[in-house]
Amino acid sequence: MQKSPQLTDRHVDPRNYPPGVAYMDGQYLPIQEAKLSVLDYGFLHSDATYDVAHVWNGAFFRLGDHLERFFRGMGELHMNIPYSKTQVAEVLHNCVALSGLENAYVEFICTRGTSPNFSRDPRDAENRFIAFAIPFGSVANEEQMKRGLHMAVTDVLRIPPSSVDPTVKNYHWLDMVKALYAAYARRADTAVLLDAHGNVSEGPGFNVFAVKDGVISTPDLSVLLGVTRQTVFDLCTEAGIQCNAQDISVAELMAADEVFVTSTAGGVMPVSRIDGQPIGAGDVGLLSKRLMALYWQLHEDDTYREAISYSKSSRL
C-alpha cells in the first residue's frame, strides 16, 4: 500500500520528458525543470495563446511569420509581455542552441498568468511568457508519410469563430481531442472536423487540402491560417498551380484525386484513405509528392532560414 504523503515530503516528478531546454521567468532550464503554477489561468482556463516554429538542419524556417502571428494573437487576447519580437527571437534561438538540437520543435506561449488575490478579472493577471525547444516531431510518422495518413471525417464541430477565433492559436482543444477518439474508434490515424455548415474545417493541428483535376483547394472558414498553409499557397503561385481558399464539402473531399494536410509539425503530409475509402489510387498522389519535395527544398532558401549559432552557447 502506498503511504500517505507527509507535509514535509518534497515532490519528485517521476515522469519522463524528451530532451530540451525551456525559458521561464528570465532563466533557461532543462525541460524537466520547467513548471507552471497551478494558479495560472493558462492552466485553469486554457487562457493562453502560443505559436510553434521549427528548426531544420540548424536553422529556423519562417520564424518571422510565426512571431507576427504570436504577437497578433496576444493583441487580440489583450495580453502583453515585456519582450519585443527581436527579444523573443533571441530567446528562441538560445533555447535551440542550448539544447544542441539540429531539428527542433520550438513553442512559445503567453498565458494569462496569475493575480495576487486570485481575481476573476483577467485584467488583474500578470501575463507570463514561456518558450521551449524539444526534438522535432510530426503529425505523421515515417510510415504514414510513405503510405499516406488514414483519416476519418467526424461529426464533431469545430468551435465556431464567433466563440473562439481560430486564427489565434489557442489551447481550446477538447473538440480536437473528441474528434481524435472518434477517429481512433474507426481505426483511423487522425481526424477532420466540420464547420457549422457541415463543410470540412481542419484537423488536430493541421490544415486540409483537396486536389481535383489539378486544382488545389483548402477551407477558408473556421481554420487557423497556418504558416505551412501559406507556404503551399506560395509554392503553388511559383509553380503556376491554382490553389483556392473556399468551402469544401465532405462529398468533395471524398471525391478528391488527392488529399494532403499541412502543419509546422511535419510540413506537407499525404492522406491516402478517408473513412476507410481510398482517395484517388489510394496512394500518395503525384502533386502531393511534388509539393512535399518543394516544401523541404524551400528550407535551403536563405529568404526563409535563420541559422542557429550553436557555438555561442554551452549546452545545459
CB 279 within 8 A of CB 41: no
Average pLDDT over residues 214-233: 97
Give the pLDDT band (50/70/90) at residue 81: very high
| pTM: predicted TM-score of the whole model, two decimal places | 0.95
Q: What are phi and psi of 230, to 5 degrees?
A: -65, -35
Cell numbers for 10, please give them: 518534497
Which domains are assigned to the chain? 21-135 (3.30.470.10), 142-300 (3.20.10.10)
Helix ranges restricted to H, 210-272? 227-239, 250-254
Cell numbers for 88, please give them: 523573443
Cβ-proximal residues to 65 (8 Å cutoff; 6+ apart), any chain: 227, 230
C-alpha to C-alpha distance for 21 and 30, rounded to whole angstroms: 5
Residues 49-74: pLDDT tens digits?
A: 999 999 999 999 999 999 999 999 99
Residues 151-163: pLDDT tens digits?
A: 999 999 999 999 9
Q: List 207's β-bridge partners, or say none.
A: 262
Placement of cell 474507426 in the chain: 186
